[in-house]
Amino acid sequence: MTDTPPLDYIERIRAYYVGLGYGAPYIWAQLDEVPFTRPTTALAAARIGIVTTAAIFDPTKGDQGPGAAYNGKSKFFETYAAPIDPFPDVRIAHIAYDRTHTTASDMASYFPLAAMQRLVANGKIGSVSPRFYGLPTNRSQRVTTGSDCPRLVKLCQEDLIDMAVLVPNCPVCHQSLALAAAQLEAAGIATVIMGCAKDILEHVGVPRLLFNDLPLGNAAGLPDDVSSQDLVAEMAVELLVEADGPRTTKRSPLVWAGNPDWKKDYSNIDLLSAAEINRRRAEFDAVKRDAKKIKAALSAV
């Protein structure tokens, strides 16, 4: 296991957006109390639901393939449920994963369905819910808690899931799924988050966290490494029954095999030229314009 301390995403992102010229830093959510449900069903009989911030692939919405640029056109704005059969194609081109050090070429590194199905096959868990669930990446905590999360709880209850594994992919995704975990737990569904941004999750407050110290976009394991994906999937479901109370964090032994500078590089405003800062500001503004158009179109329907 690496001794390198986790990246402080909250501070890094604060400096980054101030450096881009956006003024006052974002205020992250923080729960005073974290709901906690003890499972009443054994793992070997439990139905597990997977919650993701990935979007269902839509070929009409531009490039969403490995290494695609930030694509605001592929964002989704409403919580959804979709079948796991046939095996779904979900992408993360619409969110700020680490595009410098990873490419999202292996869906299994951010969407653990195949690993969960293998856990069913070997008898570790009872079943995977026939649907998986998508929660929007929403900077508005009011919308997340007032609309997105209650919809997620309803969908999970419809499918009679016993426990849920939540997998965020970007900084705000970590906040959104932390808030979702609180509402699921309050509804009697035990949760575990497989996450890379430890400081964000622990700042918000979560029931159970399996921390994978890897670049964003790899919360479900190393890309193209099935053994690592199986390891963290099993560690995550075991944490569902092992945790004695809320705010339980367990760190996996996974170590990034690529460039060791990934923590230094991620959204580090001090490493960017003036030209690159201007380019990224223009790119981010374009993403916001795309999102505004999509929201307006949805409201008009």
HEC secondary structure over 110-133: CCCHHHHHHHHHCCCCCEECCEEE
Cis upstream peptide for 207 (omega within 30°)? no
Helix, strand, coil abundance in the chain, percent, nearest 5: 40, 15, 45
Q: Please say if the pLDDT value at position 1 is more than 50.
A: no
- Across the strands, what pairs with 208? 248
Beta pairing class for 163-167 and 190-195 = parallel
Q: What is the largest CA-CA distance in the chain?
A: 56
pLDDT at 178: 98
pLDDT of 300 strictly over 80: no
Burial of 227 by CB count in 10 Å (0-12 exposed, 13-18 middle, 19+ buried)? Answer: exposed
pLDDT in tens, 27-73: 999 999 999 999 999 999 999 999 999 999 999 999 999 999 999 89
- Grouping H, G, I as helix, E, B as strand and the rest as coil, residue 81 is strand
Element of type H or E holding 52:
strand 47-52
The pTM score is 0.95
* Confidence band for 143, pLDDT divided at 50, 70 and 90: very high
Rounded CA-CA distance 24/282 in Å is 19
C-alpha 108 chain-centroid distance: 13
Give the range among 129-143, 265-279, 281-295 with minimum mean pLDDT.
Answer: 281-295
- Contact between 46 and 39 under an 8 Å Cβ cutoff? The reply is yes
pLDDT-based confidence at residue 88 (cuts at 50, 70, 90): very high
**What would the pLDDT profile of 164-214 be if each residue is shown by its tens digit?**
999 999 999 999 999 999 999 999 999 999 999 999 999 999 999 999 999
Instruction: State the CB neighbour count (10 A cutoff) for residue 191.
Output: 27
What confidence score (pLDDT) does residue 292 get? 76
> Over the chain, what is the mean pLDDT?
95
The Cα–Cα gap between 279 and 291 comes to 19
Checking if the pLDDT of 120 tops 60, the result is yes
